[in-house]
Structure 1
Amino acid sequence: MKLLRIKISSEFSSLQEGFELHFRDPFKEGRDTNEDWQQFHPFCFAGLNGSGKSNVLEALSGIFYHLESCANVNQPENFKERFKSQEGKPDAYELAYYIKPKTEKGEYQIENMVLVMVTKKKDESPEMKWQPYPFEGEKMRDVEIVSKEKATIPAPGKNYLPDLIIAYSSGENEILSIPFLKTRLVHFDEYKEAIAGNIDYEKPESNMVYIDYEMSQAVLLSNYMFQDKESVLKPLDKYLDILDIKRFRMNLNIGHQLEKQPILKQFEKTLQKFKNCGTVRFDNGKKLLLDFWVNDDTKEAFRKNFKGGIYELFQAFQVLYTLNYRTADYGAKSEVYGSQGYYTHGKINMPGPLDKTFYFLDYYIQKRMKGTGEIKELLLKQLSDGEQQFLHSLGICLMLKSKSALLLLDEPETHFNPDWRSKFISTLKKSLEVTGSNDIGRDILITSHSPFIISDCLPDKVIYFRRKKENQKEVEGISARELNFKSFGASVDIILEVLFGKRQSIGNLARTKLQYDLKQVKTKADVDAIKEQVSDMGESIEKDLLLASLNQLNLQ
């Protein structure tokens, strides 16, 4: 998908009523800039803390959660009691984007795409329209996005939603994660009702995925079972020195019950696929342990059993993780479903290891050690925070080959070292290129304070957020192109000055040591004393300017 425009027509967090953001110019046949649509150009939202850049990601996650909830039909009863199509967060908006509907066949090409426009007015259900290629001169056509009562198939508008809405936040952005937490609870209750009704359950109905540490394990494992190590997975080797997954154990508490039935009853067919791929099995009727020693035969077994490919395997793990919500009580879930607030942490208690239905154990990777080149087996959890964040982002991109997707990455570089920050955008680009995926099917939004990331983004893709001076509550988002600022290839110092108002290249404490009143410098001895005082400080522009000013005094 490709975002075109969003307008928030009701107050949402720091985004005031009337906030509007244009992502790109409308598609027009023959326009030169259309070529950019088929190339990797993520959007980077930059600005000081509290400027509203993360609120756009939060608004988009809330919008697509609401649209998914309107269109889907397998929601549990306690969700249906709380959910109203007329109520959303944000509650009024306009959203326009281009997408290739799921009902059409073929590769992602401009000619396959349609323009989708969604409008929601306050206290009303959303309305969806679409317009076929080549857009100009074509009529907008209505499509129902709210499913009918007692419908057995989703509303037709579901076909005009992305295959995946994926979010990741290195800073545990709770507001961003709330729609995804609600989605996970819906998935669990869907499964619970499938057991009660003795209905087969294959995969979640919603397309929203939040990547935390546990889901990142599933992403990494799915990639290594299906992707080519010498090409697609090469970035993991090059940037993280991860060579392969060596071994892992799936711990399944099969003795757990749900609706007085074995909790994995509706998942037995998929569970058998895992058993077919395992190296060693232990089963005492209450606990099932599946050990996997990973080699070429193991990977071939996964490919034969999970014929739907990498995403079928990932969704199988997604379902298993969902079952860990078995300890969440009905009242707490109902409260979260109906919540229109900003906080849900603490309302859903996550179980400890003994109460979890599924988790990984002994998840070992092969890693090349820096400096020595020695190859060691390490637990995945032994990777640093920065390595795990890099792994989250790369793993997600490697899995998106044939999916239309919107990626919402909130400050993914928080724990990166400067070298990784400078390589982040180029690494994502290479990761997507090696999968052979087409960038027409995907948009990536990144919030960041890193000048390295901003320097790798085109001016019309860098959106600068600031609060308007005349009204401190009003947020403005304008592109670097509108600022007449050439962000792509700009130096770190220039970006810090233009976008963050930072006119110094060193810390405040060090800068105070370089501040002298030159009017008080009367003799050469005074000059020599100052030079001696700053001699043990590192090189910087500020230090060079001070020394140059001292030399110009020509004192005796």
Structure 2
Amino acid sequence: MGFRLRHIKFRGGKQMKLHRLYLESYQVLRNLEIDFSPRTENFLTHPPSYSLDFLVGVNGTGKSTVLRVLFDLMRKLERHAPIEYGFELEYELGETDTKRYIKLSNFPEETEFADLDTEEILPLGELKVWEDNTEVQLSRSVLPEIVVAFTTGSETAWKKLDEIQPLSGGYLDAIQELSLLDRAIGEIPGKPLRLDTLENFQPEEESQFLFIEAHQLSLVTLCGLLADIAQNPENRRLEEVLQGTKKNTDKGANIKAIAGFSLKFRLTQGTTSQADRNEVERLANFATRKLRLGSDYLLVFDLTTSGNSTAQTIIQEFSSGLQLFRILCPLGKIGDDGQSVLREVNIFLERSSSDSDDHEEQDDPPLLLLDWLSDGERSFLARMCLFTLLGETEALILLDEPEVHFNDFWKRKIVSLLDKTLEQRQSHVLITTHSSITLTDVLEEDIVILKRPASYTNNAKPPDLKTFAADPSDIMVHVFNAPHPAGQRSVSYIQRILLEATNGNLEERRQTLENLLLVVAQGYWSYKIRRELLEIEPE
């Protein structure tokens, strides 16, 4: 899937594109098959560089669960961990001219899914991987370059999926690197393994997974903005997000410029590792001002005069905005001492001047901190910055109801801004949503409706109506199963009056309907009232 009205020639680059997911039994999902690729070509669809799909359905159908199981699957595949539920997953990876079709399954080869009973659970087989129909070994080369997840709901279930046992993975490798003497000393009571040795050990390969937590959004915003500012002006993707359209019909986040930012670190003697100190020193080399108070260090970066060159230098030093985020992110985590190295992230924003018709000279608006923006503004900016942060990375992006805190005006623009931000990028974005107006910006083939007829969700299919440029009220009724697009209280009130008996007093009935008509908006229900009035008019 993936929709694009204008034709964009895709020039090389890696691509991640989901095709199919089958789950035998996972929480509320049972024998669920989801096709992410259209079975028929739509004449409006041109080959896009990215893919975008929406998962929708009423509450309790398991939309968020689908995102979590994809994250869990990929995470366990990366770790070569056992997968305790039956699944099949198919997707594309690789260069445009040499795409690879990947299939993974832990079902016995003779399984016929069409013949399965809903309640039947099969014994699992050995995990098998196919690349272009040839069986291969599981390795990082058959997995997406990066998997990113973000939720506006509870993070607890997601964090459990991402948990690692303290002595697994990199720590086990680190212990193996210790000398026999050091390991023997570590067995003596009161002589634990030296933590600094383990901390300084770096696994050969970095994890491909990022779960963005709510407290990290300011850091996501900073790294995304820096990655965008480092681009030449004609290549920047966040201009419309920040400043709106050139005709001023939409002011975006109403931000004229990024004046600078500051980072506050606490480098406590004896507890802060040398590796963390080295990263702070790398950043300090580019700071405009460096302030110290005890163990607290404040680095201030001025972007007003040479923002592009400063951002370029920082991004080049850390290789990419994503890598900068990955380095700073662990510094913001609470350590065993109850402290974090990275204490504060502040971004200084310059608001656009008022577009008032008054000809009086106006003072420049004062600088604002990112934290002073509303929840909606910060959420809006952070989500858009996330996409610029990923750059050209071949990514699977899982967004759980990202429109939370957005007003309807911004919900209307989500797909348009995603399209601009992801242009010529190679990611697959999978979004759960409850927004009717957002779905009017995509084709029905880009929407998957989950249905739960009884105890389990076992049906996933596109909507039966055309959704592109549809009236949001049609989406509400035909996709979200609302009996009426208007609110329940108003509809119930009007229906009760329309169904009332006249008791032969036509004049009183007419007066009641005319009074009702005065408060009902133009549309279907005002039409019903007018028709009722016509029926009681004397012949």
Shift of 1:273: 2.0
Aligned residues: 467
Where structure 2 has 5 or more consecutive residues not aligned to the other structure, the ranges are: 1-15, 108-122, 176-194, 245-251, 357-361
Task: Summarize deviations over 1:83-102 as a string: whole Å, max 9, x none.
Answer: xx22x3x63211111001xx
CA–CA distance in structure 2, aligned partners of residues 404 and 181 of structure 1:
24
1:282 is paired with a residue whose SS is: strand
Q: Which residue of 2 aligns with 1:294?
A: 303
Query: What is the rounded CA distance, in whole Å, between the counterparts of 1:280 and 1:187 in structure 2?
Result: 39
Q: Deviations over 1:317-352 (max 9, x none)?
A: 22322xx23138xxxxxxxxxxxxxxxxxxxxxx5x
Deviations 1:122-146 (A, max 9, x none): 6776332212xxxxxxx51312x2x
Partner of 2:35: 22
The answer to whether the 8 Å contact 1:251/1:289 transfers is yes
- Aligned-pair CA distance for 1:183: 9.9
Q: Is the 8 A contact 2:450 2:461 kept in 1?
A: yes
Matches within 5 A, 1:524-543: 524-543=507-526
In the TM superposition, residue 47 of structure 1 has moved relative to its aligned partner by 0.8
% same residue: 19
Contact 1:6 1:96 in 2 (8 A): yes
**1:427 alignment partner, SS class:** helix
User: Structure 1 397/232 Cα, relative in aligned 2: closer, same or farther at 3 Å?
Assistant: same
User: Is the contact made by 2:224 and 2:385 (CA closer than 8 Å) also made in structure 1?
Assistant: yes
Other-structure match for 1:314: 325
Alignment of 1:467-478 (within 5 A): 467-468=452-453, 471-478=454-461
8 Å contact from structure 1 (residues 464, 499) kept in 2: yes
CA distance in 2, matches of 1:520, 1:208: 66
Counterpart position of 2:527: 544
Whole-angstrom distance in 2 between the partners of 1:56 and 1:317: 30
TM-score, normalization: structure 2? 0.78
Q: Is 2:255 aligned against 1:236?
A: no
Aligned partner (choices 486, 507, 513) of residue 506 of structure 1: 486
Conserved? CA contact 2:174–2:201, under 8 Å = no
- CA drift at 1:216: 2.3
Deviation of residue 525 (structure 1)?
A: 3.8
* 1:66 is the counterpart of 2:80: no
Shift of 1:191: 12
Determine which of 58, 61, 64 is the counterpart of 1:54.
Answer: 64
Cα separation, partners in 2 of 1:472 and 1:32, compared to 1, 3 Å: closer
Residue 175 (structure 1) aligns with: 157
Does residue 520 of structure 1 match 2:502? yes
Q: Report the CA distance between 1:414 and its aligned residue.
A: 2.1
Counterpart AA for 2:343: Y
Q: 1:389 aligns with which of 361, 376, 379?
A: 379
For residues 296 and 119 of structure 1, what CA distance do their matches in structure 2 show? 55
Tell me how far apart the structure 2 counterparts of residues 401 and 490 of structure 1 sit (CA, whole Å).
32
CA shift, 1:548, in A, is 2.3
Matched, 1:416 2:406: yes
Does 230-239 or 32-41 show the bigger shift? 32-41
Q: What is the one-letter code of the residue matched to 1:491?
A: D
Looking at structure 1, the residues matched to 61 and 473 of structure 2 have their Cα atoms a distance apart, in angstroms, of 21
Distance in 2, Cα, partners of 1:443 & 1:547: 49
- For the 8 Å contact 1:251–1:287, the answer to whether it is kept is yes
1:74 match = none
CA distance in 1, matches of 2:204, 2:309: 23
2:282 is matched with 273
Q: 1:254, 1:285 within 8 Å by CA — same for their partners in 2?
A: no
The offset of 1:43, in angstroms, is: 0.7
Deviation of 1:309 after TM superposition, in Å, equals: 2.7
Superposition CA RMSD, Å = 3.3
Aligned equivalent of 1:443: 428
Q: Distance in 2 between matches of 1:325 and 1:198?
A: 15
**Unpaired runs of 5+ in structure 1?**
71-84, 101-107, 132-138, 146-156, 329-350
Q: Which residue of 2 aligns with 1:128?
A: 129
Paired residues of 2:19 and 2:92 also in contact (CA < 8 A): yes
One of 348, 351, 370 as aligned partner of 1:367: 351
Match of 1:399 among 368, 389, 412: 389
Q: Which has the larger radius of gyration?
A: 2
Quote the residue 1:8 is aligned against: 23
Indicate yes or no: 2:58 matched with 1:45. Answer: no
Paired letter, 1:359 = R
Deviations 1:137-173 (CA, angstroms, capped at 9, x unpaired): xx51312x2xxxxxxxxxxx11221122111112235
